[in-house]
Amino acid sequence: MIFLFIAYQIIQIILFPVFLIILFVRKLQGKSSIGNIWKRLGFVPKTNNSNVVWIHAVSVGEVLSVQSLINKIKNKPLRYKSLRDSLRVNGQQPFVSSDLRSKLYREMNNTIVYLTVGTLTGKKIAEEKLNADYVSYLPFDFLPTMLLAYNRIKPTSLIIVEADFWPNLIMLSKLKKIPAYVINARMKKKSAKKYMRIKFFFKPLLNIFKTIFVQSEFDKTMFEKLIWRKGGGTVPFALKKREYAKKQYEKLLGHSTGRTAGGADIRVLGDLKAYNVLKKYEAAHSCNRSQSLDTSPFAKASGDTRDDPPNPQQHNSKNNFTLLVGSLHPGELDVYLNLFKHLTKKYSEKNLKLILAPRHFHWKNELIRKVKDSGYKIDVLDENNSYNRSRSLDTSPFAKASGDTRDDPPDFCSPHSAEIVLILTLGTLFDLYKEADIYFLGGTFVPIGGHNLLEPAVWEITTIVGPYHENCHVIVDELKKCNGILVAKDYQDLTLKTEKIIKNKSDNFGPNARNWLIQEAGKVKRELGSFINNF
């Protein structure tokens, strides 16, 4: 690791002028995506706590995925031995009332969670949604800035979310003897090839971590190849000897050391986002339930047969049939408009509706123009979180006849409501799944790779993805095994599969996907609990 450390510092010194030029150009362009410059230089807020967990999550997706992890760390129960030892006086343990013991118990659990992020939106979401004690930008990965950050944060452990591997951040944890972990790690097929080309660099870097928690068996295999296996071959003989020696040592100790012979311990956690999505769904229904999250889906995953939450597909009793396209990209808009045009002609009696939720809003003018040109009645939920009625139903004879002048959301059940609704606000999509009968994952009919498949699964929505789903291929493969998703090869196949679902509305794809999600979330809960208890 010493060679890697020195080499990395030399490379940074050589490239430092390039870095300054990039910052200068960004300044001229008016871009401020680096955030607070002083925090980027290492002047992050100080801590004086003796137990600080430093978590780094680069952007919004990673930030939201650690909600449950932060809550569990903050509420981590102390071990009885720690409390018992704290009450000893001169080697003797005096009598202490249960009330005082509980008070001491709470005061001792003073873990500080320090979250760093890499983007402006990530910081904004973290401050709004998470229970972290500190939220700051990650300093630039130069040795002086990182050393300053370590001295100000004073972490006792480091957790990196997914795959934002900054060498100085990681190597300094080794030099300072701070245990480091990766959680919710994954590796795309394309990324794996790139990592393998510079294996000489990543192998010593990743072996610094005590444990790498990956999302799937596929990810575990990829990380094992990168860390200590020879290009997909067998384990080297010398490594087998070390593994045998480790097992003998563990047998002598009577417990696992939590390490593999090759360095980092690689364990399958499951997708942490599955746990969070299920909790989010349960929170949305908490006002209608007498049971908490831990007494239904997670309990069900462990064999509990108590009452389940309300049926997510109760909306299916309505007379219309709604198609929802989430995370839509520009190149695939015509695919879904043509599909909708074909279906409305063939199934006019179904009162079909289409909801379009784009991934990004930079092309919203093009989106609105194209949808208006299609000739359908449309409604627009704009970025100000109010309905833009000027180009919607308020100008139609139906609205005038009914005297509808309110800024209410579209009535999907009404045969006279808008046929296409455009969603141009953040944070709205999750609440729209209950309106949908079929969900189409955006970014899968253009070479983007797809996005989140967990949210439609928790709502039991039948989901169709296109041929480009490499970003979520692991989840797609798992859902295919349990008959919980449909994969369309092209537009013709998409049309056939959609028509089949419209004809047979009582398919089991949605329930099968939800059952898989419940099992995945239960697995994450168990592994996460084990990790926190031994943290």
Tell me the pLDDT tens digit for each residue of 333-369: 999 999 999 999 999 888 899 999 999 888 999 999 9
Query: What sign has the CA pseudo-torsion 446, 475, 491, 382?
Result: negative
pLDDT in tens, 60-82: 889 988 988 998 888 776 554 44
What are the sequence ranges of the domains in the chain? 1-31, 35-84+97-272, 314-520
DSSP reduced 3-state for 516: helix
With a CB cutoff of 8 Å and minimum separation 6, the contacts of 348 are none
Question: What pLDDT, on a 0 to 100 scale, did the predictor assign at position 31?
Answer: 64
Distance CA 100, CA 97 (A): 5
- The amino acid present at 126, given as its one-letter code, is A
Mean pLDDT for 100-105 is: 52
Least confident of 154-158, 310-314, 327-331: 310-314
pLDDT in tens, 277-305: 998 898 877 644 444 444 334 444 444 43
Question: What pLDDT, on a 0 to 100 scale, did the predictor assign at position 481?
Answer: 94
Sheet holding 134-137, edge to edge: 134-137, 112-117, 52-56, 157-161, 180-185, 211-214, 265-268
Compute φ and ψ for 83, nearest 5 degrees.
-70, -45
Mean pLDDT for 265-282 is: 90
List strand residue ranges (DSSP E) for 72-205, in order. 112-117, 134-137, 157-161, 180-185
Q: What is the dihedral of CA 145, 74, 457, 224, to 10 degrees?
A: 50
* CATH class for the domain made up of 314-520: alpha beta
Question: What pLDDT, on a 0 to 100 scale, did the predictor assign at position 231?
Answer: 39
The three-point CA angle 410-411-417 to 5° equals: 80
Task: Tell whether the model's pLDDT for residue 156 goes beyond 60.
Answer: yes
pLDDT in tens, 460-517: 999 999 999 998 998 999 999 999 999 999 999 999 999 999 988 667 899 999 999 9
Task: Tell whether the model's pLDDT for residue 24 goes beyond 90.
Answer: no
Task: Tell whether the model's pLDDT for residue 46 goes beyond 90.
Answer: yes
Structure tokens belonging to residue 289: 């339930």
Question: Measuring CA to CA, which residue among 20, 46, 50, 23 is closest to residue 34?
Answer: 23
Top-ranked range on mean pLDDT: pick from 148-157, 193-202, 397-406: 148-157
- The structure tokens 């807020």 sit at 45
Mean pLDDT for 518-528 is: 91
CATH number of 35-84+97-272: 3.40.50.11720
Structure tokens belonging to residue 397: 């004879």
Domains 35-84+97-272 and 314-520 share a fold: yes
For 382-425, give the DSSP string. Answer: -TTSSEEGGGSGGGSHHHHHHT--S-PPP-TT-TTS-SEEEE-S
